[in-house]
Chains A and B, each alone.
Chain A
Amino acid sequence: MVTDTAIALNRFGLGARPGEVAPTDPRGWLLAQFARYDPRPPAYAAVLPTPQAIAVLAQAYADRKQDKAAVASVAVPVVASAAVPMAASAVAPAMAAPAPDPFAPVRDAWLAGVGARCNAALASDTPFVENLVHFWANHFALSVEKPEVQALVGAYEAEAIRPHVLGRFSDMLYAVERHPAMLLYLDQAQSIGPDSPAAGGGKPETPAGKPKPNAPHRAGLNENLAREILELHTLGVRSGYTQADVTEFARALTGWTVAGIRPNRALDGMAPGTAWSPRLHEPGPRKIMARTYPDSGAQQAGLILADLSVHPATARHIATKLARHFTRDNPSPALVARLQQAFLASGGDLPTVYRALIEAPEPWEAPLRFRSPWSWGLAAMRACGTQQIDPKQANALFDQIGQPVWKPGSPAGWDDTGASFAAPDALWLRVEAAGRIAGKAGSLDARALAPALFPGALSDATRVALANAETPAQAMTLLLVAPEMLRS
Chain B
Amino acid sequence: MAFDLPRRQLLVAGAALLTPRLAFAAAPTERRFVFIIQRGAADGLGILAPVGDPAFAGLRGDLAADFDGAARIDGMFALHPKLATIGGLYAQKQALFLHAAASPYRDRSHFDGQNVLETGGEAPYRLGDGWMNRLLTLLPAGEGALAVSTTIPAALRGRMPVTNYAPSSLPEPTSDFDTRLGALYAGDAQLHALWTSALATKARAGKASGSHGGGVQAAAATGSLAAALMRGPAGARVAMIETNGWDTHTGQRTRLSQQLAALDAMVGALQQGLGADWGQTVVLIATEFGRTAAANGTGGTDHGTGSLAMLLGGGVAGGRVLADWPGLAPAQLFENRDLRPTQPLDGAIAGALAGHYGLDPARTLARLFPAAEGRATDGLVAA
Query: Could you list which residues of chain A lie within 8 angstroms of chain B, going by C-beta atoms?
Result: 370, 422-428, 431-432, 435-436, 438-440, 442-443, 445, 447, 461-462, 465, 467-475, 477-478, 481-483, 486
Q: Assess whether B119 is interfacial by the CB under 8 Å rule.
A: no
Contact A461 B13 (CB under 8 A): no
Residues of A within 8 A of B14 (CB): 435-436, 439-440
A348 CB, nearest partner CB in chain B, Å:
37
How far, in angstroms, from A438 to B181 measured CA to CA in the complex? 15
How far, in angstroms, from A475 to B191 measured CA to CA in the complex? 18
How far, in angstroms, from A439 to B13 measured CA to CA in the complex? 9
How far, in angstroms, from A370 to B194 measured CA to CA in the complex? 12
Residues of A within 8 A of B315 (CB): none
How far, in angstroms, from A465 to B179 measured CA to CA in the complex? 11
Contact of B198 (CB < 8 Å), options: A428, A442, A461, A469: A428
Return 19 A-B CB contacts under 8 Å, by A number. A424-B195, A424-B197, A424-B201, A436-B15, A436-B170, A436-B171, A439-B13, A439-B15, A440-B11, A442-B151, A461-B183, A461-B186, A461-B188, A469-B111, A470-B244, A470-B246, A471-B39, A473-B151, A482-B184
How far, in angstroms, from A436 to B168 measured CA to CA in the complex? 11
Q: Assess whether B7 is interfacial by the CB under 8 Å rule.
A: yes
Contact B173 A422 (CB under 8 A): no
- If A370-B190, A439-B14 are given as contacts, then 8 extra A-B residue pairs at C-beta distance below 8 Å, sorted by A number, are A439-B10, A461-B187, A468-B110, A470-B245, A473-B17, A473-B151, A477-B17, A483-B185
Contact B187 A471 (CB under 8 A): no
Range class of the B interface residue count: 35 or more
Q: Assess whether B338 is interfacial by the CB under 8 Å rule.
A: no
Contact A465 B111 (CB under 8 A): no
Contact B195 A472 (CB under 8 A): no
Q: Assess whether B176 is interfacial by the CB under 8 Å rule.
A: yes
Q: Which residue on chain B has the smallest CB distance to residue A472?
A: B111
Given contacts A424-B197, A431-B181, A483-B185, contact A470 B151 (CB under 8 A): no
Residues of B within 8 A of A472 (CB): 111
Residues of B within 8 A of A475 (CB): 111
Contact A471 B114 (CB under 8 A): yes
Q: Assess whether B16 is interfacial by the CB under 8 Å rule.
A: yes
Residues of A within 8 A of B176 (CB): 470
Contact A462 B172 (CB under 8 A): no
Q: Assess whether B363 is interfacial by the CB under 8 Å rule.
A: no
How far, in angstroms, from A442 to B11 measured CA to CA in the complex? 10
Residues of A within 8 A of B244 (CB): 470-471, 474
Contact B110 A471 (CB under 8 A): yes
How far, in angstroms, from A481 to B151 measured CA to CA in the complex? 21
B149 CB, nearest partner CB in chain A, Å:
10
A372 CB, nearest partner CB in chain B, Å:
15
Taking CB atoms and an 8 Å cut-off, the chain B residues in 153-175 that contact chain A are 154, 170-173
Q: Assess whether B202 is interfacial by the CB under 8 Å rule.
A: yes
Given contacts A439-B10, A439-B150, contact A474 B17 (CB under 8 A): yes
Residues of B within 8 A of A481 (CB): 181
Contact of A424 (CB < 8 Å), options: B39, B150, B187, B198: B198
Q: Which residue on chain A has the smallest CB distance to residue B152?
A: A443
Q: Which residue on chain B has the smallest CB distance to residue A460?
A: B187
Residues of B within 8 A of A468 (CB): 110, 180, 247
Residues of B within 8 A of A436 (CB): 14-15, 170-171
Q: Assess whether B40 is interfacial by the CB under 8 Å rule.
A: yes
Q: 6 shortest A-B CB distances, which residue pairs?
A: A439-B15, A424-B198, A424-B197, A470-B40, A435-B171, A428-B198
